């Protein structure tokens, strides 16, 4: 599986990455976000929501674990699994129902979901410096393959621009 590393030098770069990712999203997609505390997962999600036409203020679902936002383009179900105690608890979060109704899932600490999602876009954030992050973009499952090729081409073009 290919991985494209996108270098982000600022919050604005991370927001631009989210805007490009948003162009490839369809109902029921799953976007898994991994990386340490403060790596940029929520920052990315805010920009992704904005690109999907969400006008609400997007905040970290640290305690409730799930927030849902209705955007003009798609509904976003934003989950944060940091406080998930057992993988079994995932079922209680209602992510499947949200997805069935057409929402996309954006899951922070997505690695804690194990193999629950067979098709997903995966973004792994790592700290490089104060305002620098590397984002490794990869995908899981056949559903993403053609779109992943398009997405990486668009991201490469963006990097060169």
Ligand X SMILES: Nc1ncnc2c1ncn2[C@@H]1O[C@H](COP(=O)(O)OP(=O)(O)OP(=O)(O)O)[C@@H](O)[C@H]1O
Residues of this chain that bind Mg ion (CB under 5 A): 41-42, 60, 108
Decide whether 41 or 67 has the Cβ nearer to ligand X: 41
Q: Which position has the token pair 């963006």?
A: 158
Edge-to-edge order in the sheet of strand 104-108:
4-8, 133-140, 120-127, 30-34, 104-108, 75-80, 66-70
Q: Are 12 and 40 in contact (CB under 8 A)?
A: no
Q: Does 42 bind ligand X (CB under 6 A)?
A: yes
Q: Does 14 bind ligand X (CB under 6 A)?
A: yes
Residue 67's CB is within 10 A of a number of other CB atoms, namely: 18
Q: Does 133 bind ligand X (CB under 6 A)?
A: yes
Q: Does 29 bind ligand X (CB under 6 A)?
A: no
Measured distance CA(125)–CA(87) in Å, rounded: 22
Tokens of residue 116, six digits: 């629950």
Decide whether 109 or 141 has the Cβ nearer to ligand X: 109
Q: Binding segment for ligand X among 8-16, 64-72, 89-97, 115-123 (CB under 6 A)?
A: 8-16
Q: Does 34 bind ligand X (CB under 6 A)?
A: no
Q: Using CB under 6 A, which of 1, 3, 38, 92 touches ligand X? A: 38
Q: Does 78 bind ligand X (CB under 6 A)?
A: no
């Amino acid at each position: 599986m290919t991985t494209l590393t996108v270098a982000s030098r600022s919050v604005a770069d991370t927001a631009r990455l989210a805007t490009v990712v948003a162009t490839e999203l369809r109902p029921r997609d799953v976007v898994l976000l991994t990386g340490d505390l403060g790596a940029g997962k929520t920052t990315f999600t805010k920009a992704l929501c904005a690109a999907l036409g969400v006008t609400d203020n997007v905040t970290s679902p640290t305690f409730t674990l799930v927030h849902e936002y209705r955007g003009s383009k798609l509904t976003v179900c934003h989950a944060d699994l940091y406080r998930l105690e057992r993988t079994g608890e995932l079922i209680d979060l209602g992510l499947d129902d949200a997805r069935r109704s057409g929402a996309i899932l954006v899951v922070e600490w997505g690695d804690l979901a194990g193999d629950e999602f067979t098709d997903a876009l995966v973004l792994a954030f790592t700290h490089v410096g104060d305002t620098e992050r590397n984002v490794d973009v990869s995908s899981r499952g056949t559903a993403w393959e053609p779109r992943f090729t398009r997405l990486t081409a668009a991201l490469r073009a963006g990097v060169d621009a």
